Each structure stands twice: as C-alpha cells, then as structure tokens.
Structure 1
Amino acid sequence: MTNRRGPNFELRALLTEAGWTQEALARAVNTLGAEIGAILRYDRTAVAHWLSGTQPRHPVPQLTAEALTRRIGRPVTPEAAGFPDCARDTGPADPIAGFGALCRTDTDAARRSLLHQRPYRVADAVAPAAPAHPVPGGPLGARTETTASLHDAVVFFAASIETHGGRHARGALGAYLADDVVPLLGAALPQRQRREVLVLAARLAFLLARMYEDGLLHGAAQRYYTHAHRLAAEAGDRTTWSVVVRAMSSQAHRLGHLPSALQLADAAHRAARSSPPAQQAYVQAQLAVVLGASGDRRGALTALGRAERAAEQAPRSAVPFESYPPAALLFQTSAALESLGDLQGALAALRRAAGERAASDVRGRALSQARFGQLLLRGGRLDEACAAWSGFLSARERLRSGEADRAVREMRQALAPYRNRKPAADLLARTAHGR
C-alpha cells in the first residue's frame, strides 16, 4: 500500500450511498477477487486504512470501484472512489486498432497482469448494436493462401479447449493473434478476403475469451468477447456476432448477473434469426436457460423447442462455429429444466448428454459428470452422486481448467455433511491437498 494526502472522502461518501459498512465492502472486494482468480482476505481494518488515505495496490482500486458500481447501480471509476493513480485500460475506438492494442498487452509480460487482474464489469455487460448492414450469411469462402492458417488455427484451438481445458495453449493463441492475425488485419486485401480475415479473427478472439473464462479470469474474457463481437460487426457477420453475444450472456449468468444475461441473450436471439440452424440452436438454448432462471416457464420451454427444432435441421458436422453438438444442447436443456424445478428432467437430459459426448470432449464430459453429481445429491442419491463425481475426477486429471477446479471445490462443499459416509470420505480424501 502507498499513502496519499488526506482522508478519502470520496470513498466514504460512496460507502454511505451504498449503505455498506466497511466490512461489507471488504467482503465484496474479496468476492470480486475470485472472478480474477485471486484469493483476497480483506476485512474492515483494510477498508479503514483506505478511508484514512492509504492507496491499495492494483487491482484493489478497480475491484472496489466495480463492487460499488454493482451495489449502487451506476458506473463508479477508481478515480471517483478516491484512487487517482490507477492505470486505465481503455483502448482505441477503432475495432482493429483496439484489438491490436489488447493483443499486444496480452503478450507483454510487464503489462499482462493488468489484463489478468481486470474485474468483470457489469456496466460493460450490455447488448451492443448488431451489425447495421449485415453481409448475407452462409459459410466462409474457400481456403486461400491468406486464410488457410487462420482456418486451421480455429479448428486447433477449439479442439484444444475441449480436450485439454482453457488454461492449455492460452499463451500460444495470444501470441498467434498478436504476431500473425493483427498484422493481417492491417494488410491491404480484397474486400471478400478482408471480411473473411475479420470473421476468423473474431472467432479466434472468441476462443481466447473462452480460454480466459475457463481459467476463471472473467475480466480478461470479457475484454476478448467485446473485441470479438466488434470484429464480427466490422465484417457485417451477424451469425458470428450472435454467437459471441450469446457466450457473453452465459458468462453474465454464470457470475450471477441475470438482467445482463437476459438482455444479451435476447440481443443474440434477434440477430440470429437468419442464421443457419446450428447457430440458432446455440442461441436459443442459452435464451431458454436465462428465461428459466428468471421464472418465465413458458418462454423457456418455447426457446427450448426452437433450439431442438433448429438442431434437428442442422447438418452433423465437427467444424467449429458451424455445428452445435447434441451433448452441448442437452447440457443446456438440463440447466433450463433445473431452473424450472424439473430435477428428473434435468437428470435425464444429462444422462442423454453423456451418451452423445465425443471421446475428445474431455472437458465437456468432466463438467457434465460434476453437474450430474450435484443433481443426484440434491435428489438424495449419495452413492450415485459419488460414482458420477469419481468419473469427473478421473477426467479432470487430464485437464487444465479453472472450471473443473471450481467444480472440485463445489463437490467438496456438497460432500462435507456426508464426510462420515465411505463414498463421500473417499472422494474427499482423493481431493485433499489440491489433488
């Protein structure tokens, strides 16, 4: 911590406006730390120091501002919270220049921590404007000498996430974007080829966002999702744009920001109306989940029906962004049914999903089994739940995934009341000391 002149009257006024005690602010900052993969243990004493004029180290000013933003319901900057010496991470307004600046930051070891420690910002989780003049949809053109490597990279990194988890090869994708894709975005290309490069760059940015999200670095993921939809909009590609915005809805929902998740899911739904069936199924499945979470039973079931019909019309394919695996749709179906109180339906959907998982989808299988364990335990079926979790732990050993690590913590918490029962005790022992 560093000192500043005089008491922090700005922070005190914001605490009063928020109706928070010093302890409540400390808890909120600690919670936000988890969204950037940091374990923080601040208490009221730390907040008292901030109020007296002590400047906390990065990223605490940004986390404090975001905590107050969420509580008060209007944007609060670190400067407005009385922390004037904070680095800003705003980039150029131009989508290509902004994306290039982000990629350069991500590959600069001295500046990367600023990106990794950036909090998820609810104020930024708003539906952007869809491409105003969309280019007619359809698959991208034939591979050319210019775009062949980009096509290959999309396939490779998409497969890497599912087989190895989002923490695997993340640096490699960041370096590829900075060293190969960004220069290509600035090259003089024919219009059709330029559009393809923009779309492929958007897809690669989306994949890096997914990697960061799976690594529980949600602020960094949000930045890449934002640039992905901006690149898609620059290309006039509403299909890729809607895929990105749908993923942003899923992230917002996962973090507990249901109004943002609903708004983003609805924007993706509207933009995807003329998209191919696979992408429509992907978008409708997320809409069903958030509508179910909001208590709109009829809307959720309607969206699920649309997702299922679209999936039936979609060609079977393993090409990223041009397919939606049946197992993924069933996983979303389970989530929607669970939110509607249909535990048996949710369990049945997960059982079907297990039979549909590709052998290479290690991450999807692991997270499905972890979720299966949670639902089985809720139904009072401890032995079956432990069997599902045992399968999850076996798959998890092959992954570098923050989501899988989080699922282990949730499993241990759920099993704690049953620690004297042998199946539960075996799993708790198996995962002791971070194993």
Structure 2
Amino acid sequence: MTEHISDLDDQFGGRMARPLAAAFLVNTIAPYLKASASDEVRTDMLSAASDHLYLTGYMAMDERSDGLAQRYYVKALELAGAAHDHLTYCTTLRGMSVHAVDLGHGPQAVRLADSAAAASPKAGPRMRAFLAGQQAHAAAQTGDRSGALLWIKEAESAMEKAESRAKAFGSYDPSSLAYHVGQVRYELGDIAGSIESLTEADRLREPLYRRTRVRYNGMLAERKLRVGRLEEACQDWHTVLDDYPHVQSGRCDDRYNVMMASLRPHLRNPYARDLYERGRTMAPAAA
C-alpha cells in the first residue's frame, strides 16, 4: 500500500496522495500496531509502519506543511528504531536533511545528512550514493566547497558500482545523482554547470515522475533566465505548464509563482508574453 501511494505521489503530488496515506495510517496501521503478535511479526509491522510514516512526512513536506512533516519524520524514526530497521532510519534522517536544505537551513541539513550516513556503516553502493549525494548538497549550501566536492565524488564512485536500478520508493538513480551534481554546482556558484547537470537529469528521468519534472524543469528555467537565456527558459517553462495542472503540490506551486514573477519584467518579449498569458490561465491550480 505504501508503494502504491508513493506512485500516486510521484505522479500527482503530495496534496492529492497524503489524505489517502493518512486515512490508511489511522484506520489500518494504528489498529495493527496495537494487535497481539509474535516478536517477528510485530517487528515487521513496526518496520512497515515506519516506511509509511516516512512517506507521509515526505508528502506533507511537498504540501508545504512543514511542521506536520517533521512530526511524521520523528515518529518514523521512533518506529524504525524500535524495529531495528536501519534502512528506514537512515532514509528518514536523509529525508529530514532534504527538508532542511529545501528550507535553507544548511548547517542542520549537514548534521542530519551526516547522521544518516553514520547510522548506515554497511550501506551498499546505491545506498551510499543516496546518502553521499545529500551530504554533498547540504555541504555546498553551507559553502563547504571541499566537503561538497568530496561527497559528490564519493556518490559518483558508488553509483558506478551499483549493479541495477532499485524500484522501491526513495531509490537513487543516475538522474538523481545528476540532480545533486547540479545542486552542488549551483550552490558553489557555477550556474552554467548546474544547467548542464539539470538538463542531463531531465534526460535520464523516468516519465513516471511528473512532480519532479515540474520542480526541476522549473529550476532549470530559472537558472537559464539568470544567465540571460530567456527564450530557452520560456521553452522549459512551457514544459512545466504541460504537467503543472495535473500535480497538486505546494513545492510545484512555488515554481509556478517564481515563473510568473520572473516573467513580469520581460513582457515586451513575445515569448515571455505568450508564456505569461498561458500561465495566467492556470493560476487557480496554485491557489
């Protein structure tokens, strides 16, 4: 059920999928957690519940319900610890680091990312790339250039060793790594390099991840505009608007609002004006 809701979240956003996850948590998972069972079954139930709480926290973050997301994450850590589920424990700490980076809290993001890595000393190569990529992004946001480059190099090396693409939610693939390279480059001042990496991430991304396309192509357009590539930015933003009406996500709304604000000074340009007029018809989605 958690994996099914995760697929819905990827396609339609947290605002659409989280109510389903919350209802399942209250009506199904909570009674199971109170039921009698053998130690083995109870441990498995705690582990499955912690997975579900982590996902629900992620969707709350996507809605921009930041305090609620933190409460879900803390409860996910509690249950994962009780189940001795190191994978979900590390994944949740990393998710909390992603949240901190998203809110601009670099030092806290570094502490959480480092804690996630320390809690998983025997991680396989894909998990190591998953953790190191976030360590790199967090370090870059604090201006730690040497640390960021060290961690991104470790993520790239670990990804090369990974044998196959994982299917479970929270998996890390070459598109995810390219995104992290792009974020590190951007935080360290290399806007042109970040554009190159985000373009590569989009090329490698699976079509399932509609919300991710909206967010990351929005970032790509914003960065192209910063270096004066207005018409290319407009093309990327048109791609964003192809998906935007189908996604219910506070973070996607953020990208929409930035797009509209960024276009206003350029309305004498016909490409910008056409895009702006198209975007105005989608304003209710942001509301």
- Which of 175, 196, 221 is the aligned partner of 1:373? 221
CA distance in 2, matches of 1:273, 1:422: 55
Letter in 2 for 1:318: K
Match of 2:165 in 1: 316
Match of 2:131 in 1: 283
- Which of 73, 80, 83 is the aligned partner of 1:235? 83
Q: Which has the larger radius of gyration?
A: 1
Match of 1:210 in 2: 58
Match of 1:225 in 2: 73
Does the 8 A contact of 2:106 with 2:139 survive in 1?
no
Letter in 2 for 1:236: H
Does the 8 A contact of 1:248 with 1:261 survive in 2?
yes
Matched, 1:248 2:96: yes
- Cα deviation, residue 407, structure 1: 0.4
- Cα deviation, residue 312, structure 1: 2.5
Which residues in structure 2 correspond to 1:136-215 (within 5 Å)? 153-215=1-63
Does the 8 A contact of 1:373 with 1:389 survive in 2?
yes
CA distance in 1, matches of 2:123, 2:29: 26
SS class of match (2:154): helix
CA distance in 2, matches of 1:272, 1:427: 46
CA distance in 2, matches of 1:187, 1:274: 33
* Larger helix percent: 2
Letter in 1 for 2:224: L
- Cα deviation, residue 285, structure 1: 1.0
* Residue ranges of structure 1 left out of the alignment (5+ in a row): 1-152
CA distance in 1, matches of 2:129, 2:269: 42
Letter in 1 for 2:186: E
- Cα deviation, residue 327, structure 1: 1.5
CA distance in 2, matches of 1:190, 1:277: 33
Which residues in structure 2 correspond to 1:10-29 (within 5 Å)? none
Change in Cα spacing, 1:190 to 1:238, as seen in structure 2 (3 Å) is same
Letter in 1 for 2:201: A
Does the 8 A contact of 1:273 with 1:280 survive in 2?
no
CA distance in 1, matches of 2:205, 2:116: 26
Tell me which stretches of 4 or more aligned residues in structure 1 moved more than 3 Å. Answer: none
Match of 1:271 in 2: 119
Which residues in structure 2 correspond to 1:408-427 (within 5 Å)? 408-427=256-275
CA distance in 2, matches of 1:337, 1:196: 40
For residues 259-296 of structure 1, the C-alpha deviation after alignment (integer angstroms, 9 at most, x for no partner) is: 21121111112112212322222211111011111111
CA distance in 2, matches of 1:385, 1:169: 30
CA distance in 2, matches of 1:217, 1:356: 30
- Cα deviation, residue 313, structure 1: 2.6
Change in Cα spacing, 1:189 to 1:276, as seen in structure 2 (3 Å) is farther
Give the TM-score normalised by the residue count of structure 2: 0.94
For residues 348-398 of structure 1, the C-alpha deviation after alignment (integer angstroms, 9 at most, x for no partner) is: 111111111111111111211101101111111000001001101111121
Does the 8 A contact of 1:243 with 1:279 survive in 2?
no
* Residue ranges of structure 2 left out of the alignment (5+ in a row): none
For residues 65-120 of structure 1, the C-alpha deviation after alignment (integer angstroms, 9 at most, x for no partner) is: xxxxxxxxxxxxxxxxxxxxxxxxxxxxxxxxxxxxxxxxxxxxxxxxxxxxxxxx
- Cα deviation, residue 221, structure 1: 0.8
Percentage of matched positions with identical amino acids: 32
RMSD: 1.4
Does the 8 A contact of 2:134 with 2:180 survive in 1?
yes
Higher relative contact order (CA 8 A, sep 6+): 2
Matched, 1:261 2:109: yes
- Cα deviation, residue 401, structure 1: 1.1
SS class of match (2:248): coil
Give the TM-score normalised by the residue count of structure 1: 0.63
CA distance in 1, matches of 2:246, 2:159: 30
